[in-house]
Each structure stands twice: as structure tokens, then as C-alpha cells.
Structure 1
Amino acid sequence: MKVLVTGVAGQLGHDVMNELAKRGYEGIGSDIAPAYAGAADGSAVTTMPYMQLDITDAQAVEEKITEVKPDVVVHCAAWTAVDLAEDDDKVEKVRAINAGGTEHIANVCKKLDCKMVYISTDYVFDGQGTTPWDPDCRDYKPLNVYGQTKLEGELAVSENLDKYFIVRIAWVFGKNGKNFIKTMLNLGKTHERITVVNDQIGTPTYTYDLARLLVDMIETEKYGYYHATNEGGYISWYDFTKEIFRQAVELGLAEYSEERVQVVPVTTEEYGVSKAARPFNSRLDKSKLIKNGFEPLPSWKDALGRYLKELDIVS
């Protein structure tokens, strides 16, 4: 199986390439930079075939993907800077990447009759209530530009293709790039008091675990919409931060102890308005994975523990 992966300089693309290598599949990475520009961690992705690709250029997308002739395209590339996407001078670019770029790829996948995986987000919903979102729910009400453009990407895939997996994820963390865990660890080193919201509820997603599931999926023809995060119940960002610091202390990092740094729960309103509206309800119903025979991701606490060791934060 030959698999083209977009966005390999990002957290998920990096891990998908390494998972493909682990299983002996032919993986070709692509991104906007002239050469691989992700983490220089010595893993398989750093030496695997790489192709520069601007997904907003329809002609380049058609020519380059047609040349590769993949069996599957795993489309991880996206504009993910949620607040920045709200700037008037960025909206057009965000749409060109998340919607236009996705449509260009879907069109080539249709022509080549190959499978496509599109990574989406709970932001396509309105983020209200407490009921977990069902993957086949069509009650779309994006709260912000990021969510709206990711929804447009979803529709570009579902309206053009039959062989697709649309996988919505939330609260993503991985080795390659910025994420909430790294931010909290950095803040904990320099602050005695951190305020974290406790009224936005969801579950984290470790890209290493998600990459395994995505490759499991492309080995099948069980197409459709899925939700995928780590297991272990729904939590708030405050709960997540407390557990990050608790596990860091367990690893011997006393600077994250409750005596050194106080984590204070606040509401979204108390925290202060961000440029982009954030969902209160990021709960994703993942039961369809089991129904279709896929192995769920491990618990988020287990994932966090493995990730902290992977970060090598203990000197």
C-alpha cells in the first residue's frame, strides 16, 4: 500500500508516517516547505520520501498526486491557529487551506479512485449542551472561522468521494509541535499561580495513538464519519492540567508540585474572551469505532504518561 501523507511537519502527520514505516507500507510525506521541516528526532519520517506541496494550488495538487499514484491520501495538513484565523486578513488564507486545499485533494482522489482520510474537529458543532456528539450528527453550527472552514473541508470530501474516512478529533498533543501540555509545563516553570478553564469539557488525543488507528482504518473499507480521542472519560482543561503536573511530580519534577505552583479553576467568562469562540462541549461519542471493529485508543492518562516520558523532561 502506497500512502501520501500531507502536513508531515505537524504533530499527526509526523506520527502517521512513522506508523506506516513500522508496518512496512510505502509512505510519502508532503508539506509546504522545500524539505522535511518537522522534528529532527531521527525517526523514520525524517528519511522517508518527501514532496513539497502547496495544497492551495489546484494544478500542483493534481500533477504531483497523480504522479505519486497513492492508494490512500491521509490529509493532515490544515490551518489550526484558531484565534489567528479570526483576523480579517487571514480568513481567505484559512479557507484556501482548510476548504480549498481539501477539495483539491478530494478531486484528485476521485480521479485516481483512491481512499482519503480527512482529519476534522468537534469545532464543526456549536459546542453547547452536555451530550457527546455523534459522528453521524449533521447539526453543524461552527462557532468560528476555523470550525467553519474545517466543515467546508468535510463537505468537499463527503460530496465528492465514496471512499473516505472523516475523523474528528479534539485536544490534540504530540511530540512534533506546540500543544497544551508543552504550554502548561512551560508556564509551571515560571509561574506560581496558573488559571485554567474548568467549563470546557472534552478528552485529549495523543497523535501517536491516533496514528495507529488511522492506519488500522485505511487497511479496511469501513468508510464514513468517526470520532477518535483517547479513552478515559471526559474532563476539563483544569482537570487535564492537574494531571499533567501530578504525573510530572511522579517523574521527579518537584517544581510542578502543589506547593510550588497553584492551579486555579476559572470559568471561560472569568478567564477572558479569546478572539475565537470556544466550545464548552467537546465530548465526542467514539462508540462507532468499536461497532466497526476498530481498537479504541488507550486512556488519556496512560497516553499522557507515555508522552511525558517521550518528551524526556527529566534531566
Structure 2
Amino acid sequence: MAAPLLVFGKTGQVAHELTSLAPDAVFLPRSAVDLSDPEACEAAIRQHTPRAVINAAAYTAVDKAEEEDALAHVINGEAPVAMARAAAALGCPLVHISTDYVFDGQGETPWSPIDPVNPQNAYGRSKLAGEKGIAASGATYAILRTSWVFSGHGNNFLKTMLRLSETRDALSIVDDQIGGPTPARAIAQACLAIAEQLCEDSGKSGIYHFSGAPDVSWKDFASEIFSIAGRTVDVTGIPTADYPTPATRPMNSRMDCSTTEAVFGVPRPDWRDATQTIVGQLRQKGEIS
């Protein structure tokens, strides 16, 4: 019997997509392994002796992390490092999802994987701790930094906009934060492709970027969602300063994904196509009109 693919997470956006893309994988939801217990994460990998590990679980409540800094650090920092140690001991690769929040979000140039990191909030610091520990673990790994994840599952910007448009005909949306909305299904597909290639070539280990194209503001993303869904909503752009949040958000979330395509053959997905698909699926399921 072939060694399984082991996935941490099951109900999050990316993990949910993986359940349909990799039905033979072993999925570890919170009920099976508590990510606030790094030793349990390590033990799970030793128990299953997988051919590869994908960590699609994380503490993602960006604003709440400001008051739960220690918990975020354990789940996003210590648990992935424990996974990497176990993966290194077994000689299996680890694919770990990270974030553009490890950067300071300044300027307008797309972030390269080798650019200096400087996180501006607790969430970003916790994710950076995980990155550093994985890189130092001796494991074969790919850290896949992504941004603005959306899907037809869970809580995300696309679903929020569709919900608001049911009862609102005008919205004010931030228009000075720029990034690439990234379909969760495309991230899941990228993780699978990368994991398989790392099994064959450990020399591909490293940090990579993956985000949707083209880069847009939140306002323009919202406008496209409404256009695709056939919703008439008057969208007004506002500066970040007019929409304060507990955690500082990066103004520049543009990501240079060229290395990911060059090394793994995985191009940036077009988020507009994914939005069209997701809206159609939600309509077919009766979740939206």
C-alpha cells in the first residue's frame, strides 16, 4: 500500500478543496490533531508515515491575533516547525501555506520570495516564525506564500460581498490596498503539484509566491464580483484610514510569482475565471439567487 498524502486541516478553504482534489489523502481536522499542541502534530506525522505533508491549517483570525498573540504563535509558528522536524526525520516533503503579511506592505513593486521580511501585525509575525523554523529544520519543504484567499466555502471576501449585496445597493470598499485575489482551489492544486515534485526533487525546496492575477484593489475586486453575479451595487472607494482595524493591513500585497511558475510549472490563476465558476456553483446549490 502506497504511503498516504497527509493534510493538516479539513474544513478551511484550501483543505476543503483538497478533499475533492485528493480524496485518497488522510485529512487531520481539529478534532484529530490540535494545532495548539505541536507535539501532537509531530506524532501524527510519525504515525501515518506519509509520502508528503501539506499543512493547510492555521490561525487566520488576523485581527483577533492582536489579542491572542501567544496562541497564534503556537499554531502558526511552533506547530509547523514540529511538522517539519517530523517530516525531516521521515524524509518526506512538507508544503506549508504562508502569507504576504510577512512583508511590511510598502511600495508598489511585487514582493519577491527573497525580499526582506518585516511583518506589521501579530498574525504576520506568527507566520514568519513558522517560515524560519521550517527553513532551519532540515526538511525538504516548500513555503507557499499567498494572499486574499477566496472560495465558495467558509468566510471570505467574495461570500461577504455576495451576502451584503442581497440587502445593500451601495457599499464603501477600501481602494488603496492592492493585491492578487487567490482562489483556494488553485492553491490546493498548486500544493499538490508542488508536493509531488518535491518527492522527486528535494533541490526544489524553498520559499515561493502564489497569488491570483491581475492585481487589483479590494474595491475593484468587489465591483467585479457584483458584475459577475449580476448585482447592482454602487461601490465607492475609500482609503484604509477610513476603515480602521485592530491589525495593520499591508497596502501592497502584490506578489512576484515567476519563480513558482519557472520551478514547478504552476502559473498564476485568473481570479475572474474562478469568481465566475464559484458564483455559478453557489447559484446552482441555491446559496445565492
TM-score of the two chains, using structure 2 as the length reference: 0.92
Offset of residue 290 of structure 1: 2.3
Q: Matched residues in 1 for 2:208 and 2:246: separation?
A: 29
Q: Matched residues in 1 for 2:63 and 2:36: separation?
A: 21
Instruction: State the identity %.
Output: 38
* Residues 1:230 and 2:201 aligned together: no
- The amino acid of 2:254's aligned partner reads R
1:77 is aligned to 57
- Equivalent residue pairs, number: 279
1:290 is aligned to 261
SS of the residue 1:107 aligns to? helix
Moved over 4 A (4+): none
Retained in 1: the 8 A contact 2:46–2:86? yes
Offset of residue 285 of structure 1: 0.3
1:60 is aligned to 40
Offset of residue 212 of structure 1: 1.3
**Structure 1 range deviating more: 139-148 or 173-182:** 173-182
Q: Matched residues in 2 for 1:111 and 1:295: separation?
A: 28
Retained in 1: the 8 A contact 2:180–2:216? yes
Retained in 1: the 8 A contact 2:151–2:158? no
1:44 is aligned to none
1:262 is aligned to 234
| TM-superposition CA deviations, 1:236-267 (whole Å, max 9, x none) | 00000000000001xxxxxx21xxx3211011
Q: 1:226 to 1:309 in 2, by over 3 A?
A: same
Q: 1:314 to 1:58 in 2, by over 3 A?
A: closer
Q: Matched residues in 2 for 1:246 and 1:292: separation?
A: 35
Q: 1:104 to 1:310 in 2, by over 3 A?
A: same
Retained in 2: the 8 A contact 1:135–1:225? yes
TM-score of the two chains, using structure 1 as the length reference: 0.85
1:248 is aligned to 229
| TM-superposition CA deviations, 1:38-84 (whole Å, max 9, x none) | xxxxxxxxxxxxxx011232332233221100111100111001011
Retained in 2: the 8 A contact 1:210–1:297? no
Retained in 1: the 8 A contact 2:108–2:254? yes
Q: Matched residues in 1 for 2:126 and 2:72: separation?
A: 7
| TM-superposition CA deviations, 1:251-302 (whole Å, max 9, x none) | xxxxx21xxx32110111123x110000000000011122214131431111
Offset of residue 101 of structure 1: 1.1
- The amino acid of 2:239's aligned partner reads T
Q: Matched residues in 1 for 2:266 and 2:88: separation?
A: 28
1:31 is aligned to 29
**Structure 1 range deviating more: 121-130 or 296-305:** 296-305
Offset of residue 96 of structure 1: 1.1
